[in-house]
Amino acid sequence: MLTTWVTAGGNLIAMRPDPKLAGLLGITYASGTITNGYMKVAPTAPVGTGLVNNTRLQFHGTADKFRLAAGSGAVNLGYLYSAAASTDSFPGVTLRPVGTAGGQAAAFAYGLSRSVVLTRQGNPAWAGQDRDGNAPVRSDDLFYGNSVNDPKPDWNDFSLIQIPQADEQQRLLRKMIAHMALDRKPLPSFWYLPRKLKAVVVMTGDDHAHNGTDPRFRQYMALSPVNCSVEKWECIRGTSYVFYDTPLADVDAASFNAKGFEVALHVNTGCATATQPLMEEALSKQLPEFKKNFPSLPAPTTNRNHCIAWANYASPAVDQRKYGIRLDTNYYYWPEKFVQDRPGLFTGSGMPMRFAHSDGTKIDVYQAATQLTDEANIDYTKHITTLLDNALGAKGFYAVITANMHTDQGASVGSDAIVQAAIARKVPVITAKQLLDWLDVRNKARFSAIQWKGGVMSFQIADVSSTVPGLQAMVPSTVNGLTISTIKRNGGATPIAFSTMVVKGVSYAFFAGLNGSYEIQYK
């Protein structure tokens, strides 16, 4: 069936395929596998250009060793290695043109989706272990190699800590899909963040019933531009995760909420491992107490646990979802002996994405890893400027950077440094709730009826909510030698505005992603 599909002009991308597909894919199986090895993107245009392509990146899980079949026409888009400095090399990602109808068959030697989840969420074999010697079980234990009783390499290689390895490999897949579809039609997509933002700071702080929340939020108001728009992310805003009995009056909390700040519960398991019964107990008892003390506030939809208590692989995320919490900041770049003042993205990603169980089942809670904390003895300015400049500059390591600068006190050296660096680079500082609202807008929006005919691309955009404005649609600036000329919406006589930006080696035209029908002329 798959061979018939591809021969007739269809495209196939197989992840760690069944050997029965070898003929179609143009590969022959060598014996053996590589587990938790490395892959390097080939710098071949157009797919490999613009990505991190001169460095071995990690994959997690198991890859099959195979070779390109002689005479099959298959090419390497990526290479596989057993280790960071090994001399072996196998095809890691392959692409083969099939037949005369434009069909193409591609293969990843490893399961990309599985590898992405494992890179972001840590090693399932370490689930439930206290590896860093700091009880309770926390998210960093899933990444921390140097356990006293079980010394192993760190799960994600620190020599690559600034590279969003999982994101770059997803971008490889995204570029393959676009490239393989191009003989039929170019594909539109949505940009990660509102407008053409390449980075955003999610400012949060935990408040253990000390109410530094009030003075901190007032400081953010003072730092915000006059007449700033909260919905356009122009105001400096932050989240405070509070113990439910923090001495903040409901009327003041309501006033902050109305101004776009977020006051949510700092769920407290008593600093014990957040096993299902303990997490459930904390949520079921503390959320009603929070509601009693803050009747004017909306129910919390984002969270960080006290002591960043975690358990198992992803069970705290499941427990949170049951209680309406849909964004989690518990993944935490900590402690000092792990971080060693090295700025980076310890989950191999700068992007929030939904959690998955270890079997791959999706959980409707976003993981927004906290990359900056005020309890790992870091040089705040070095960390924030490194992460922001990596996102804004030529590297294109686009990132949502989450910070925990405790709101126990109003003053915070770390918060000051982060906000200052963000303002200097015109990077918004928002709440976790603002991020969640945005993710919902972007992920509900969709394209349909995509067509390409006679140099004209057309499609519909639907389900764009106005909760957070600024959704950007993007289409390639050039298609098969033709250059974009005009974009019209809903049959209007006047073309709409667009601007171009190069993303991972490809020039795109960006324009407002509003509901409607679009017709794009290429000449």
| 203 within 8 A of 216, measured Cβ to Cβ | no
Q: Which stretch binds Zn ion (CB under 5 A): 20-28, 32-40, 162-170, 300-308?
A: 300-308
What is the smallest separation between the CB atom of 306 and Zn ion, expressed in angstroms? 4
* Cβ-based nearer residue to Zn ion, 163 or 279: 279
Q: Which amino acid is at 263?
A: V
- Give me the 166-205 binding string for Zn ion, x by CB under 5 A, dash otherwise: ----------------------------------------
Site string for Zn ion, 5-34 (x = CB under 5 A): ------------------------------
CB-wise, 206 or 374, nearer to Zn ion? 206
CA dihedral sign, ordered 177, 178, 184, 188: positive
Question: For residues 61 and 136, which CB has a smaller minimum distance to Zn ion in the complex?
Answer: 136
Closest CB 401 distance from Zn ion, rounded Å: 20
How many residues belong to the site for Zn ion (CB under 5 A)? 2
Please choose, out of 12-20, 222-230, 285-293, 305-313, the segment that lies near Zn ion by the rule CB under 5 A.
305-313
Shortest distance, position 293 Cβ to Zn ion, whole Å: 17
Query: Per CB under 5 A, which region of 206-214, 257-265, 324-332, 511-519 contacts Zn ion?
Result: 206-214
Which is closer to Zn ion, CB of 51 or CB of 202? 202
CB atoms within 10 A of CB 71: 7
What are the phi and psi torsion angles at 48 (to 5°)? Answer: -85, -15
Residues 297 and 262: their CA atoms lie apart, in Å, by: 9
Of residues 64 and 319, the one with the C-beta less far from Zn ion: 319
Minimum distance from residue 272 beta carbon to Zn ion (Å): 13
Fill in the per-residue mask, 139 to 158: x = in contact with Zn ion (CB under 5 A), - = not in contact.
Answer: --------------------
CA 291 to centroid of chain Cα atoms: 31
* Type of residue at 293: N
> Residue 225 burial by CB count (10 A; 0-12/13-18/19+): exposed, middle or buried?
exposed
Q: Which of 401, 406, 466 is nearest to 428 (CA)?
A: 401
Q: Which stretch binds Zn ion (CB under 5 A): 143-151, 217-225, 229-237, 304-312?
A: 304-312
Q: Is 131 near Zn ion (CB under 5 A)?
A: no
Give ∠ CA 414-419-424 in degrees, rounded to 5: 130
Say how far apart CA 220 and CA 261 lie, in whole Å: 10
73 or 270: whose CB is closer to Zn ion? 270
Nearer to Zn ion, 96 or 306 (CB): 306
189 phi, psi to nearest 5 deg = -155, 175
Least distance in angstroms from the C-beta of 204 to Zn ion? 11
CB atoms under 10 Å from CB of 222, counted, come to: 8
Taking contact as CB under 5 A, which single stretch among the options 302-310, 317-325, 436-444, 445-453 is the one that binds Zn ion? 302-310
Q: Phi/psi at 338 (nearest 5 deg)? A: -85, -50
How far is CA 197 from its chain centroid?
14
Q: Which is nearer to Zn ion, 240 or 472 (CB)?
A: 240
Of 140 and 206, CB closest to Zn ion: 206
Residues 6+ positions from 394 with CB-CB distance below 8 Å: none
Select 309 or 339, whichever has its Cβ closest to Zn ion.
309
Does 408 interact with Zn ion (rule: CB under 5 A)? no
For Zn ion, give the closer residue by CB, 132 or 206.
206
Between 76 and 239, name the residue whose CB sits nearer to Zn ion.
239
**DSSP E strand boundaries for 339-455:** 353-356, 362-367, 370-373, 399-404, 429-430, 446-453
Helices 315-322 & 276-293, crossing angle to 10 degrees? 40
Structural element, H or E, at residue 410: none
C-alpha triplet 106, 107, 110: angle, nearest 5°: 160
206 binds Zn ion (CB under 5 A): yes
**To which residue do tokens 């692989």 refer?**
313
Question: How far is the C-alpha of 201 from the C-alpha of 427, rounded, in Å?
Answer: 7
- Structure letter (DSSP) for residue 497: P
Q: Which residue's Cβ has the minimum distance to Zn ion?
A: 306
Smallest distance from the beta carbon of 402 to Zn ion, in angstroms? 15
Q: Strands 499-503 and 506-512, how do they pair?
A: antiparallel
Smallest distance from the beta carbon of 206 to Zn ion, in angstroms? 4
CB of 207 to Zn ion, least distance (A): 8
- Output the smallest distance, CB 108 to Zn ion, in A: 40
Q: Closest separation between CB of residue 321 and Zn ion, Å?
A: 21
- Residue 326 CB, shortest distance to Zn ion, in Å, is 20
Residue 241 and residue 264: Cα distance in Å, rounded? 5
Determine, following the binding rule CB under 5 A, whether residue 306 of this chain makes contact with Zn ion: yes
By CB under 5 A, is residue 207 in contact with Zn ion? no
Please choose, from the candidates 246, 331, 323, the residue with its C-alpha nearest in 3D space to the C-alpha of residue 281: 323
In whole angstroms, what is the distance from residue 423 CA to residue 429 CA?
8
Could you tell me the smallest distance in angstroms from the CB atom of residue 305 to Zn ion? 8
Kindly list the residues in this chain that would bind Zn ion in the complex (CB under 5 A).
206, 306
